[in-house]
Amino acid sequence: MNKKFRLPGVLIGIAVGAVVANAAPLPYLNDSIDIEVRVEDALARLTLEEKIAMIHAQSKFTSPGVPRLGIPDLAVSDGPQGVREELLWDKWDVAGQTNDSCTAYPALMSVAASWNRDIAALYGKSIGEEFRQRNKDVALTPGINIYRHPLCGRNFEYMGEDPYLAGILAAEAVKGIQSNGVAACVKHFALNNQEIDRHKVNVVVSERALHEIYLEGFRRAIVDGGAWTVMGAYNKYRNQFCTHNEYLNKILKTDWKFDGVLMSDWGGTEDTHQAIFNGLDLEFGTYTDGLSSGKSNAYDNYYLANPYLALIKSGVVGTAELDDKVRRILRLCFRTNMNRNRGFGSRNSAQHSADALAIQQEGIVLLKNEGDILPIDKSRFHRILVVGENADFCLTKYGGSSGVKARYEVMPIDAIRKIAGNDVKIEYRKGYTSDWPRNTQVEDSLRIDALKAADKADLIVFIGGHNKHPCHDCESYDRGSTKAPYRQDELLVELLKAKAPLVLVTMGANQFDMPYSGKITAMLHAWYGGSESGTALAQVLFGEVNPSGKLPVTFYRQLDECGAIAMGEYPGDGKNVSYNEDIFVGYRYVDKYNVKPQFHFGHGLSYTKFRYGQPVADKMKILSGDTIKIVMPVTNIGRRSGKEVVQLYVQDEKASVPRPVKELKGFVKLNLAPGETRNAVFCITARDLSFYDETSRSWKAEPGVFKLLIGASSLDIKRSLSISLM
């Protein structure tokens, strides 16, 4: 019989006699001693059956602990925008609880668009507190798969097209989450760049592109961020599923010295033998519900359950691999649910609302602002027409595993009316609908209604883009095209004929085709903004907040401007997909082939102006172990306070292998009052000048001259200087 008692935020069962009054606790329960001593002590006390039980799920989102030893179950939860509502034990159906709402945070693409380390850390700390308050031990975020092309249905959950930017920000988010005693789970490792055929497609990619583009963000999140868990991807690499991939596991656990838990995505495990020997530690979701195999407990029939146990008992395999898996899970427990010093967390607080708002304020990108039409001047515009379903549409729901039950969500139309007050008359027309099934008569009626109202307006604000419906931004589905959905393009073309200027606000992971964009006065991209999405947008529109977001992706004029589409084989033949564009992803392809996209990587305007001074380096030559420090003054020469993201790119002027025209290797976000000057400071090492050499299978920096390009975007380079690697 076990007695149970509650320590701070943790339910622990202690076997009778395990702790004697006035006696020191058993080593594995003593959190004042080294964690590795605790791991080995606990491991030695486990039976074979208890070890097997620990490495696979017992419900949709929990894996079993060891009640006999007071080791709690592990509880995990989606997701990137907030803690997912509770589901039934064995099914995907919601449990119907009334106390599982959350603060909805901006999507990770919006976090990436902030280009702000502090914002990424705030996201992690704040969302981690919500996971902790809900007694979750693992937060299944951040997702950092590279935005290879605009059609991937989960692009909005990721952090852009550049591995440096994604890795730096993901590392900060990881540290923020784990400061709460909650493990961050970096996903999906690796090459999960499409949802079509994601459960079977084999990715064919060069080893160089693998390391330079698709693994580098993971490396930074794991090595620099110290992530405690990693989730494998569904797809294959080298014809092995990534969940238990020999090559990827060596990189993760040997090269990067990852000491945490590699877990499967739900249903991502495919083979017992590979799972044993290729690094999978914890298996989740092999069956859709606990009874689907026809057994009384399907979890016992997972690949790492009874089949593994039978192999051990028959002598076919040993226990060394099992012990390594259990060590990692025990280490995770001691870092999370057996950490008596972790806080209690908090959820749905006023502070978390403020955090979500601060994150989204910095993620909104001002793409275009002809004639300084923005911010909206209330003395100039007295009748504003807001058009578009997304002005009054809940965007925190849906999307697959990123959907949340938000405690509230501020609609843009409500926030606009609140800020406009009595000075401006605000009218709203839906204009289009995403309802299914399609009803052409209803669609025509909505469009005609909006066009009639436009004739009376001084200014039109169109709030559209994508939502999280299937085939738009949603797990399990890729987009069908980059055409504007729900006939928005037809409506926009007609609205642009009105006398009033038009401000276009788009939401979602990517811009859609807009051959008419030249006629649009001003454009904002707002991603998916969470609970305070409407508030942040209205504040930017009316100038209460100066926009400072920058694109973490390239916005193309048309799909075939993207290298993955122009040169690759997306989505493949159902068996294989080849990444023929190699390392030339996103702006790297744009630079190499002189493509002129709609908006370049790193682009984003402000309501003020900045002047870039002359950069100065503390040395002009660098040895392999050295660091060069570059200092460049930036001045706000406008009349408003504002934030500027100063970006540093490296250009190798002569190399033995094809290299991008430039690669992002530094960024600093400066907050400047009018007239204020501050220094952007960068540090460059030989690693920043390196490429992955496939012959030596290592990073290589070749001696020579490198140009450092500093500017406001990948296109807008303001200053440069050259350094030499000796």
Q: Which of 208, 252, 202 is nearest to 232 (CA)?
A: 252
Q: Buried b vs exposed e over 498-507: b needs ≥16 C-beta within 10 Å?
A: bebbbbbbbb
E runs forming strands in 256-328: 261-263
Active site (annotated) includes residue 265: yes
The kind and range of the H/E element at 276 are: helix 272-277
Q: Buried b vs exposed e over 637-653: b needs ≥16 C-beta within 10 Å?
A: ebeeebbbbbbbbbbbe
Alpha-carbon gap, residue 310 to 273, rounded angstroms: 12
27: DSSP letter = G
Alpha-carbon gap, residue 287 to 301, rounded angstroms: 9
Q: Which residues pair with 638 in a beta bridge?
A: none
Alpha-carbon gap, residue 616 to 610, rounded angstroms: 18
Q: Are strands 691-693 and 698-700 parallel, antiparallel or unpaired?
A: antiparallel
What SS3 state is found at 469?
Answer: coil
Instruction: Please say whether the dihedral angle defined by the alpha carbons of residues 292, 296, 299 and 303, taken in this order, is positive or negative.
Output: negative
Q: Buried b vs exposed e over 376-392: b needs ≥16 C-beta within 10 Å?
A: bebeebeebbbbbbbbe
Q: Which residues pair with 505 in a beta bridge?
A: 463, 524
Torsion-angle region of residue 351: left (phi > 0), alpha (psi -120 to 50) or beta? alpha
State the residue for tokens 């459960």. 199
* Other beta carbons less than 10 A from residue 509's beta carbon: 27
CA atoms within 13 A on the CB side of 606: 30
- For residues 679 and 692, the answer to whether their CB atoms sit within 8 Å is no
Alpha-carbon gap, residue 153 to 64, rounded angstroms: 33
Please report, as a single letter, which amino acid is at residue 271: D
Could you say which of 90, 265, 591, 688 is catalytic? 265
Task: Please count the helices (runs of H) and the strands (runs of E) in the chain.
Answer: 18, 29
Instruction: List the catalytic residues.
Output: 265
